[in-house]
Amino acid sequence: MQSEGATGEGNNDERLLQRIKNGDFDAVEELYNQYSRLAFALALRILNDPGAAEDAVQEVFLRVWKQPNSYDPARGRFPTWLMSVVHNQCIDQLRKRRHQGLSLDQEESQERLNYLAEKAPALEEEVWSKMKRDTIRKALEWLPDEQRKLIELAFFGGYTHNEIAIHTGQPLGTVKSRIRQGLLKLKNILNNMQLESSV
């Protein structure tokens, strides 16, 4: 069974990107159908707003369509690059909203929870993707709470070191150190679990 980001997908992604370069819209739709659900999960986690999350995901795929050469193979395999672009897009959007003075804590959190309850993942579970997901979650659980929370605030919350320090009341040096130590520990855990960190 194929899966989102499964090892066997690499060549297929490259073929689809080549077709996109030739102006074949079916190819971008295939990529969209394959990866948009995972990209949407990430965007929704960061933005807390289904409409904004959909827009962010579609902006990224539109970029793939308009500028397929913007994918840099040196940055990793296509899904890895795609997710990093979605992440950056969402963090940029989040920061703009923060600068406009919107309160993140009060933003539609209940609406988001309701949305998540209504939109369960598709029935067909993709085995490889699920294994990877479970492994990363387990590795995160093994991190000390103070490291995991800071990493989640950073990656999913888009907060800078300074903002996290202010938000948590911890010294800036401690924040930097804990995030670094947390990532290093996560890397070791994943290595020990014999999971490739690149997808």
Chain positions 94 to 153 lying near another protein, rule: CB under 8 A, are 116, 119-124, 129, 132-133, 136-137, 140, 151
Instruction: Give the total of residues touching another protein (CB under 8 A).
Output: 75
Cα dist from 43 to 5, 62, 91, 149, 169, whole Å:
17, 15, 9, 19, 27
Q: Which of 18, 70, 114, 197 binds another protein (CB under 8 A)?
A: 197
Binders in 20-39 for another protein, by CB under 8 A: 22-26, 28-30, 32-34, 36-38
Nearest Cα to 37, choosing from 117, 120, 153? 120
CB atoms within 10 A of CB 83: 20
Taking alpha carbons only, the member of 104, 197, 90 closest to residue 82 is 90
Q: Pick the closer one to another protein by CB: 17 or 42.
A: 42
What is the smallest separation between the CB atom of 30 and another protein, expressed in angstroms? 5
Q: Binding to another protein by residue 180, rule CB under 8 A?
A: yes
- Does residue 176 touch another protein according to CB under 8 A? yes
| Residue corresponding to tokens 């699920």 | 130
